[in-house]
Structure 1
């Protein structure tokens, strides 16, 4: 191999390594939370209550439109999702109109959604709502500290 080809090959390899390193440093809080959100939806579709609960802080709070009261703590959130997944084996969520606010390492994600839930008898219902989720770094790990969902008002 001639010197020019070797130099070009070495340059390409080093450039690829640098791009790989730089790419990870470009990921900031907004990108981290976007990745966590995708994990959340993946676990939601899979019905994996354990994995979804582990995205929340140990003392996280969750206001869900399917539950009349605020849930406090990862264990309560895990129990809620396990019951929801058992009750509704059919689950689809369509997200839209995202708005992210980044304050240092804290991220607030807001969006609207349409959630379709179906029970084992084939009863299917659509819910239109909004969600507000706060992500922070706790003990060196980015987690959800507050998650609030509510239904949109019914059209008149």
Structure 2
């Protein structure tokens, strides 16, 4: 159980992305959705906004078909207080199509986390494709 009076470290917040990325690797959209708060907002890169667990599961059902593997390129963590933090920056996904061909997608991200019932949950997740330089 995590104390709600002690500030989390940047390393603890950074590890939440690793936990999310590991959930992606299971291929189970419910395992990924379990990391989101019941009232979470997901604003994915190439889909409509998702504001329910069913919507989040639906999004990840489709996204996980491409076997995504995320890697942080640059990050900025802000601990707001003992129960909330923001992790924002740039990440890259390696995707694998049904023929086994790999491609990468560079994107910006923001995860807003909140400690609820002793668990850090994603309250807000925004991802958008990185614009072309210039």
- Residue 75 of structure 1 is matched in structure 2 by 54
Deviation track 1:77-130 (CA, whole Å, cap 9, x = no partner) reads 1121112213x13x2222121110111121000121111212103443321111
Inter-partner Cα distance in structure 1 for 2:12 and 2:56: 22
- Residue 63 of structure 1 is matched in structure 2 by 43
RMSD across aligned positions (CA):
2.2
Say yes or no: does 1:133 pair with 2:111.
yes
Inter-partner Cα distance in structure 1 for 2:70 and 2:104: 10
For the 8 Å contact 1:61–1:145, the answer to whether it is kept is: yes
Q: 1:133 to 1:39 in 2, by over 3 A?
A: same
Say yes or no: does 1:109 pair with 2:87.
yes
Q: 1:96 to 1:62 in 2, by over 3 A?
A: same
Say yes or no: does 1:36 pair with 2:16.
yes
- Residue 92 of structure 1 is matched in structure 2 by 69
Task: Give the structure-1-normalised TM-score.
Answer: 0.72
Say yes or no: does 1:46 pair with 2:23.
no
Task: Give the structure-2-normalised TM-score.
Answer: 0.83
3-state SS, counterpart of residue 95 of structure 1: strand
3-state SS, counterpart of residue 112 of structure 2: strand
Name structure 1 gaps, 5 residues minimum.
1-24
For the 8 Å contact 2:13–2:77, the answer to whether it is kept is: no
Name structure 2 gaps, 5 residues minimum.
none
RCO higher in structure (CA 8 A, sep ≥6): 2
Higher strand share: 2
Inter-partner Cα distance in structure 1 for 2:7 and 2:124: 22
Larger Rg: 1
